[in-house]
Structure 1
């Protein structure tokens, strides 16, 4: 009988290890898929960027690579989140998961940890491997072009002296909070629709995001008087607006993750009956 009826760190670590060891084949295949897709896209774009006799101070691929980083993070992140409750889609796998000697929170948290936190590490490794694949191929193909270099992810946000995807750290923070919000929708969708989770969540999420977007526009018009800042008000600073976006994104992501947990807990009780 379990002594800790909510959370035990040793039991949680063992559960995470079990999840990754039992599903190592599918996890490796998904990592190879991410690497393959990004490598093909990078090599294909490099063919058009590097041909010709012109020279550059910096690698002309960097702008595309930084944009591809965000698109890949969001796209593969949503796909990864849709696999969070994949073990609940068949009777055999559902029974196996329900029989694991762990609390519902530990089961949900272990799946969330693997497909949300561990995913970020796996994505970063896959992205860098794809980038170095591009680097090796075109360094051999064009040895005279010494500007070909691995992309510096520090250019995602920072100094305006060179191209950055986001001009400030707050803008990058807002972008990432938006990512976690959208990703949390797919975690929630996976708890509601274990089968075909990605497609169903994408359809429902499109409607939800449009509603959030329209509400956001309405609130912006009310608070900012059709885009004009109140003199001396809290919305006079653009940094304040970015902070509001960051806090709102994190808040709604936490709400969606919490709803996903209670949905999983409810479905577990129903399937045990």
Structure 2
């Protein structure tokens, strides 16, 4: 009888099986991420050549190029992360795959953990390989363009240095909020957004990416309607007045608010992961019905 304790050895066997079965789709995904960054970079290099001809300063031209690449890389990485998150249960998208996966000699926690590693760590590694290939391609393309020597600098170093913006300051030069708390909130919000697609992929086995986007869009529209109704009723004006009366405008107040929001979104993220695992533990060969959850 199989042991019920968690075993990394069994996790490794499951992951090796998935890698062998899905190596082609993983390769296509890596090439897709690379291509989505490469073609815009090619266009930006061509444009940078014209910026130089028009007399823009070399450093400004390079910073503008890296700023454009920051937007492209950020968008591609975001889409790739949520797309692969929605494919967490790709191994269960038809009856034959469900039978094969559910009968693997491993606990359900080990099976879910292996899939979670693929759509988190595996996706990050895929993105890193694609970005390193993009950096190498950047150097290989330079001889084809008449660009200043500043473009010989590592592109990714400059791009990622732009990501870490400084905190806002008020008229007196004092920070409006903690830079670290704001960065923490941004990362937790990204994790929460990622967990929504983990949850969607655990519920919908077929076309989970589109269905999750559709569900999020529907909830957003409904939330917008409810928010507009609450604004008309004057509830928010009353709450804002009460906050202004009881809490002074200070960095401490803003930091406290950032902390509360971070904790709330972190709890939502943990809940989405827990619910995703719960859905997987109730997986059956015949696709479950909603009322049987």
Output the TM-score relative to the length of structure 1.
Answer: 0.82
Alpha-carbon distance in structure 2 between the residues aligned to 1:118 and 1:245: 29
Q: 1:228 to 1:50 in 2, by over 3 A?
A: farther
Alignment match, 2:254: 238
Alignment match, 2:172: none
* Cα displacement string for residues 189-240 of structure 1 (whole angstroms, at most 9, x for unaligned residues): 1111100111111100223355677889989877654884844589843333
Alignment match, 1:9: 8
2:49–2:146 contact (8 Å) kept in structure 1: no
Q: 1:50 to 1:178 in 2, by over 3 A?
A: farther
* Range that drifts further, 247-256 or 225-234: 225-234
Q: List alignment gaps of at least 5 residues for structure 1.
A: 161-166
1:221–1:227 contact (8 Å) kept in structure 2: no
Alignment match, 2:276: 260
Question: Which structure's residues are more often helix, by fraction?
Answer: 2
Which of the numbers 163, 182, 186 marks the counterpart of 2:197?
Answer: 186
* Range that drifts further, 235-244 or 85-94: 235-244
Alpha-carbon distance in structure 2 between the residues aligned to 1:200 and 1:84: 14
**1:56 and 2:61 correspond:** no
* Cα drift, residue 30 of structure 1: 0.7
* Range that drifts further, 241-250 or 94-103: 241-250
* Range that drifts further, 242-251 or 191-200: 242-251
Alpha-carbon distance in structure 1 between the residues aligned to 2:259 and 2:269: 15
Alignment match, 2:265: 249
Which of the numbers 108, 112, 122 marks the counterpart of 1:108?
Answer: 112
Greater Rg over alpha carbons, structure: 2
Alignment match, 1:170: 181
Alpha-carbon distance in structure 1 between the residues aligned to 2:225 and 2:187: 21
Q: 1:70 to 1:251 in 2, by over 3 A?
A: farther
Q: 1:231 to 1:146 in 2, by over 3 A?
A: same
Alpha-carbon distance in structure 1 between the residues aligned to 2:136 and 2:257: 37
Which of the numbers 144, 149, 156 marks the counterpart of 1:146?
Answer: 149
SS at 1:23 equivalent: helix
Alpha-carbon distance in structure 2 between the residues aligned to 1:89 and 1:265: 16
2:88–2:119 contact (8 Å) kept in structure 1: yes
Q: List alignment gaps of at least 5 residues for structure 2.
A: 168-177, 289-293
What do you get for the CA RMSD once the two structures are aligned?
Answer: 3.1
Which of the numbers 64, 70, 85 marks the counterpart of 1:66?
Answer: 70
Q: 1:181 to 1:208 in 2, by over 3 A?
A: farther
1:55–1:145 contact (8 Å) kept in structure 2: no
- Count of residues paired in the alignment: 264
* Range that drifts further, 107-116 or 13-22: 13-22
